[in-house]
Structure 1
Amino acid sequence: MRFGTFIPQGWRFDLVGIDPAEHWETMRRLVQRADEGAWESVWVYDHFHTTPVPSDEATHEAWTLVSAFAASTSRVRLGQMCTCMGYRNPVHLAKVAATVDHVSGGRVEMGIGGGWYEHEWRAYGYGFPEVPERLRMLREGVDIMQQAWLTGSATLDGRHFSVDGAIVRPLPVQDGGIPLWVAGGGEKVTLKIAAQYASHTNFHGDLDTFRRKSDVLREHTDRLGRDFAEITRSANFNTVIAETEAEVEDRLRAIEARLAPYLGDKLEGAMAQYRLPGALVGTVEQVSEKLATYGDAGLGYAIHYFPEAAYDRSGVELFERRVIPALG
C-alpha cells in the first residue's frame, strides 16, 4: 500500500487560531517534513469556502499551493483531491498543471472531479448545473487535458467547452502526461470515465461500498477492453490515531473544542465523520487492522487527513513510525 497525506490549508477549519501571516510557514514546514519522511504524496483540497460552514476563515487556493509546494520540495508527489472541473477552463488548467509539473521536476498528480459544493459554485458565479451536466463537463475536460498532455494541443467542440487548436507547450515532464485521478463513485458515469481515462480512482466509504465500487469499475474496464489492474484504487481517510483508546478520545475532544467556536449547530455533524465506518480512528492496532482489510479488498493507495496536523504532529508521527512500515 502507498500513502499520501493532506496538508492543512484552512478549508476544514484546520488553521484556525494561527495568524494568517503564519499560514504559509505552517504549511511549508509540514510539506517539507513530509518530503523528508515516509509519505509518497501530499495533497490539498480544491475549495474556496470553508466547510461545513462558509466563513471568513482562510481557505488557501489549491493550485497556487501545489506550485509553491513544487518549489519547496524535491521528492514527494503533489496532488489535489480533487480539482473541480467547473472552476477552470480545462485547457488553461492543463497548461497550469504542465507548468507546475516542470517546476516540480515531474511530480504532479491531477485529481479531478465534477464538484459538489453548491455554496462556493454560486458565490463565485459558476451557477450550479445539475449532476448530469457537471459530469458531462468532467468528461469533456478530461478529454481536453489528455489531448493537451499527449499531443501538445487540444481541439473539442463540446457542449460545455470549446477549444480549437489550443497549444499547450511544453508538454509535461512525465511521459504519457500527468497521471489522472478521477474522483467520485458514481457508478454509471464517473466510474465509466475513470475506466477510460484514469490511472487512479478515488472513492471512499465503508468496506462494502469500496468493494461494490471496485466491482463496478471492473465491469466498465471489461466493457472497454482495458486491464482493470492498470488502475490503482485509492481512498481518503479521516485519521486520528493514538497508543490507547483513552488517548484517541482525548484527541477527538481537543478537535471538537477547537472547531466548536466556528461550526455552531454543524459541530455534531462534523465530529460524526470521525465515527463513520470509513474513518480511521483508533489505536495503532485498530487502524492498521482496518487498513489491511481495505488492502485485501484492493485498496492500493491511502490518503490521510489528520485534523490535528497544524497544531500537534504526534499522531502523524505515530502513523509514520508504526503504520506505514507495517503496511507500505
Structure 2
Amino acid sequence: MRFGIFIPQGWRLDLVGIDPARQWEAMNGLAQRADAGPWESLWVYDHFHTVPVATQEATHEAWTLMSAFAASTSRIRLGQMCTCMGYRNPAYLAKVAATVDIISGGRAEMGIGGGWYEHEWRAYGYGFPEVRDRLAMLREGVEIMHQAWTTGSASLDGKYYQVDGAIVQPQPLQATQPLQRPGIPFWIAGGGEKVTLKIAAKYASYTNFAGSVEEFDHKLSVVREHCATLGRDPGEITASSNVNTIVGATEAEAEERLRAVLGRLAPFVGDERLAGIEAEYRGSLGFGTPEQVAERLQERASHGLG
C-alpha cells in the first residue's frame, strides 16, 4: 500500500491563525518534509471557498500550488483530489498540467472529477449544471486531455467543449516514459456507477472512492464489469481512497488532537456541523492509534485498496 499526504492550503480551514504572508512558508515546509520522508505523493484540493462554510479565510489555488511544489520538491509525486473539470477549459488544463510535469521532472498526477461545491461554482460565475451535464463535461474533458498528452494536440467537437487542433507542446515527460498508459496518470474521482466509473475503466490509472467495505467491494465490481465491456485488464487500475486522519500514540492523544481540530473549526461552523465533523473523524479509517489505523487499512487492503 502506498501513501500520500494532503498539504494544508486553507480549504478545510487548516491555515487559520497563520498570517497570509507566512502561509506559503508553512505549506512549502510541509511539502519539503514530505519530499524527504516516506510519502509517495502530496495532494491539494481544487476549491476556491472554505468548507464546510464559505468564509473570508484563505484558500490557495490548486494548480498554482502544483507548479510551486514542482519547483520546490525533487522526488514526491504531485496531485490534486480532485481538479474540478468545470473550472478550466480542458485543453488549457492539459497545457497547465503538462508544464507542471516538465517542471517536476515527470511527477504530475491528474485527479479529476465532475465537481460538487455549488456555492463556489455560482460565486465564480460557472453556474451549476445538473449532475448529468457535469459528468458529461468530465467525459469530454478527459478525452481532450488524453489526446493532448498522448499525441501533442487535441480536437473534439463536443456538446460542452469544442477544441480544434489545440497544440500541447511540449508533451508531458510521462508521455514518453515506459508506463502502462502513457501520459499524466488519471485519478478519476467519484463512485457514480453509470458514468464516472465507466470513464475510469477507460482512462484511469486510479479510481478514488470510499464508503463501507461492502460499498467499496461493490464499486470495484462495477469497475471490473466496465473493464470487461471495454476489453481492459482491471489490474491496470489501482483503487485509492481519501482518509481523514488524526493519529495519536495513545487513544487519549488522538482524542486530544481531535479536540484541537474541532476547537479550530468551532468559531466558523455551527454546533450541528461541528458534531457532523466529529462523527466523520471518529468513523474514519484514519482515527486512533497507529496500531488501530494500521489494522483498519490492512483490512481494506485485503479488499483491493492500493
**TM category, shorter:** over 0.9
Does the 8 Å CA contact 1:52/1:270 hold for their aligned counterparts? Answer: no
Alpha-carbon distance, 1:275 to partner: 2.1
1:89 aligns with 2:89: yes
The equivalent of 1:65 in structure 2 is 65
Correspondence list, 1:1-328, <5 A: 1-174=1-174, 175=176, 176-265=182-271, 266-276=273-283, 278-300=284-306
Gapped runs of 5+ residues in structure 2? Answer: 177-181
Structure 1 Cα separation of the partners of residues 279 and 64 of structure 2? 31
**Matches of 2:260 and 2:153 in 1, distance apart?**
50
1:125 & 1:79 partners in 2: Cα distance? 25
Name the TM-score, length of structure 2 as normaliser: 0.96
1:321 aligns with none
Instruction: Give SS of 1:42's match.
Output: strand
AA paired with 1:207? V
What is the number of equivalent residue pairs in this alignment?
299
Distance 2:300 2:5 in 1: 17
Give the 3-state SS of the residue equivalent to 2:193 in structure 1: coil
State how far apart, in whole Å, the 2-side matches of 1:27 and 1:285 are. 28
Q: 1:205, CA displacement in angstroms?
A: 1.7
SS in 1 for 2:281: coil
SS in 2 for 1:154: strand
How far has the Cα of 1:270 moved from its partner? 2.1
Q: Is the 8 A contact 2:113 2:190 kept in 1?
A: yes
Q: Distance in 2 between matches of 1:207 and 1:26?
A: 36
TM-superposed CA distance for 1:179, in Å, is 0.5
Query: If the length of structure 1 is used for normalisation, what is the TM-score?
Result: 0.90
Provide runs of 4+ in structure 1 moved above 6 Å: none
| SS in structure 2 of the partner of residue 249 of structure 1 | helix
**Alpha-carbon offset, residue 204 of structure 1:** 1.1
Equivalents in 2 of 1:263, 1:17: separation in Å?
16
In structure 2, give the amino acid aligned to 1:70: A
The question of whether the paired residues in 2 share the 8 Å contact of 1:273 and 1:279 is answered with no
Superposed displacement of residue 264, structure 1: 2.5
- In the alignment, the residues of structure 2 paired with residue 206 and residue 27 of structure 1 have an alpha-carbon distance, to the nearest angstrom, of 32
Q: CA RMSD in A?
A: 0.8
Aligned identity (percent) is 70
